[in-house]
Amino acid sequence: MRIDIITVLPEMLEGFVNESILARARKKGIAQIELHNLRDYTTDKWRRVDDYPFGGQAGMVMQVEPIDRCISALKAQRHYDDIIFTSPDGQQFTQHLANQLSLKENIIILAGHYKGIDQRVRDHLITREISVGDYVLTGGELPAAIIADAVVRILPGVISDEQSALSDCFQDDLLAPPIYTRPREYKGWQVPEVLLSGNEARIKQWELEQAIERTRQLRPDLLDKK
């Protein structure tokens, strides 16, 4: 899988893609993640990517021209399954959406910035808009990193124990059950006996019951989907 991230702040993402799970995926050749500085696709000496909006609204707007040049240059090299724009008013990012994107071969993520983006980018260049929550951030670099991390970590071979990813929260519209590790007793706080029983069937049943109960208490909206 290849993910190309277009940003005005590539330095903000360099450390992220070169560490932890993403770095492991890149080293194994499972995922290729490339950062593109949008300013490299400008034509003026100031390398400006924004301008004042028509109509007199406040703030600065990302221009269509450098974005079009960058996307066109990438599309000239390969086919892209999705061109994603990170936007607070986009489709809500969920584990199900991460699962869908993990099946793609090549995607572009355009990190928004400033007040917003020229509507012509959304109308003609973008195939999908994604929001990581109902709030506004300074830029789309953090959402782009979140999307990349959530997608890449579930690619086969990235995590040594693939079952770990498959049992994460939200995979079955349920929250994950409680988990414990050594020591089995600490300050009188005990690990549930069922987890020490060695009875796999009982443990699985307990985990399911706990997952349903946690979901009912914390995210009952997820149960409405079932």
Here the CATH number for the domain that contains residue 145 is 3.40.1280.10
Residue 209 lies in a domain: yes
Annotated binding-site residue? 121? no
Count of structural domains within the chain: 2
121-156: pLDDT as tens digits: 999 999 999 999 999 999 999 999 999 999 999 999
Residue 42 lies in a domain: yes
Kindly report the pTM of this predicted structure.
0.90
| Residue 43 shares a structural domain with residue 148 | yes
CATH number at residue 186: 1.10.1270.20
Domain end point (choices 123, 154, 185):
154
Domain end point (choices 110, 131, 154):
154
Residue 163 lies in a domain: no
| Residue 150 shares a structural domain with residue 185 | no
Range of the domain at 189: 169-222
Pairing of strands 50-51, 61-62: antiparallel
| Residue 78 shares a structural domain with residue 149 | yes
Annotated binding-site residue? 223? no
Annotated binding-site residue? 194? no
The pLDDT of residue 164: 64
Annotated binding-site residue? 132? yes
Residue 37 lies in a domain: yes
Q: Which residue has the tokens 């993403």?
A: 22
Annotated binding-site residue? 135? yes
Sorting pLDDT into bands at 50, 70 and 90, what band is 224?
confident
